[in-house]
């Protein structure tokens, strides 16, 4: 495919996101139960938290792509609903997000991911493009990447072309000379393809093959890329 650079999605491409998020939310919940008045946390659960988060997104859809802002505002709204004033709610939200974000970075990569990135980074400049808020460059895996782009720093998330366009600008390659690797048929395959990039669909969740029909390459695990590149 005459590839000169590769961009990667992160969540559910390099690691299992649900596991890392659930662990981080449990750490957040335990910390808040330790520091907040008992009455404010009496009815708190991950289910009630997610219900409040949905109400935040519905009332402010313009921030939906910024997962950091959404999570902090969800915590603020929760504590205000429990009777906290704004300052108290923002303090608790800050504490909750701080421990969540630290735990969020404790990911367990899929098998052979690091081995694959090590080999690919010796041949291609690598970059990441994520709709999530994982801090890749603070992780051990970050040493294989030139940079990582988060949707929170852009007006729109994937599949909008804005992050793909910024990535190829920084990588200094033509769109058709960049391969984007990701698990989401819409965000990663369609989004990258519409921006002119080549695409590799990593079907980590065993979805119907038809969903990735427009990808230039389909693999079931990251390690398979070495066979094709």
58: CATH: 1.20.120.1600
How much is the mean pLDDT over the chain? 95
- Percent of the chain whose pLDDT exceeds 90: 92
Give the full edge-to-edge strand order of the sheet including 126-130: 147-150, 126-130, 5-8, 178-182, 198-202, 217-219
Indicate if the pLDDT at residue 1 is higher than 80: no
Answer yes or no: do 112 and 197 share one domain: yes
CATH number of the domain to which 119 belongs: 3.40.50.1000
Compute the distance between CA of residue 166 and CA of residue 21 in angstroms, rounded to an integer.
27
The answer on 82 and 140 residing in a single domain is no
Domain boundary among 104, 139, 171: 104
Q: What is the mean pLDDT of residues 204-210?
A: 84
Residues 78, 117 within the same domain: no
Considering 9, 160, 183, 184, which one is annotated as catalytic?
A: 9
Query: DSSP state, 147?
Result: E
Question: Tell me, what's the pLDDT at 7?
Answer: 98
Pair (177, 224) in one structural domain: yes
Phi, psi values for residue 131, rounded to 5°:
-85, -10
Q: Do 11 and 52 have their domain in common? A: no
3-state DSSP assignment of residue 165: helix
**Is pTM beyond 0.75 here?**
yes
Largest CA distance in the chain: 61
Give me the pLDDT at residue 28, please: 96
- Is residue 9 among the annotated active site residues? yes
Task: Enter the tokens of residue 5.
Answer: 């650079």
Of 104, 136, 160, which one is at a domain's C-terminal end?
A: 104
pLDDT beyond 90 at 212: no
CA–CA gap between residue 42 and residue 114 (Å, rounded) = 42
Share of the chain above pLDDT 70, in %: 100
- Please determine, for residue 162, whether its predicted confidence score (pLDDT) is greater than 90: yes
pLDDT in tens, 10-64: 999 999 998 889 999 999 999 999 999 999 999 999 899 999 999 999 999 999 9
**How many domains does one find in the chain?**
2
Are 57 and 115 contained in the same domain? no
Q: The domain containing residue 206 runs over which residues?
A: 5-15+108-228
Tell me the pLDDT band of 211, cut-offs 50, 70 and 90: confident
pLDDT in tens, 187-205: 999 999 999 999 999 998 8
Average confidence (pLDDT) over 172-193: 97
Where does a domain end: 69, 104, 139? 104
Tokens at 185, concatenated: 């048929």
């Amino acid at each position: 495919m005459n590839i000169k650079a590769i961009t990667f999605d992160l969540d559910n491409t390099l690691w299992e996101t649900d596991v890392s998020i659930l662990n981080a939310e449990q750490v957040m919940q335990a910390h808040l139960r330790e520091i907040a008045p008992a009455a404010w946390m009496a009815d708190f659960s991950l289910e009630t938290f997610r219900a409040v988060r949905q109400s935040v997104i519905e009332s402010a859809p313009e921030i939906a792509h910024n997962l950091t802002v959404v999570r902090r505002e969800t915590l603020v709204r929760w504590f205000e609903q429990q009777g906290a004033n704004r300052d108290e709610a923002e303090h608790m939200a800050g504490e909750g997000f701080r421990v969540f974000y630290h735990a969020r970075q404790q990911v367990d990569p899929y098998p052979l991911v690091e081995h694959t990135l090590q080999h690919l980074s010796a041949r291609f400049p690598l970059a990441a493009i994520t709709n999530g808020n994982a801090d890749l460059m603070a992780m051990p895996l970050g040493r294989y990447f030139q940079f990582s782009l988060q949707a929170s720093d852009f007006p729109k998330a994937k599949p909008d072309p804005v992050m793909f366009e910024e990535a190829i600008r920084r990588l200094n390659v033509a769109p058709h000379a960049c391969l984007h690797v990701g698990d989401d048929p819409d965000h990663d395959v369609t989004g990258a393809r519409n921006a002119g990039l080549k695409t590799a669909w990593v079907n980590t969740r065993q979805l119907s093959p038809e969903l990735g029909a427009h990808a230039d390459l389909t693999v079931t695990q990251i390690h398979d890329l070495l066979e094709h590149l």
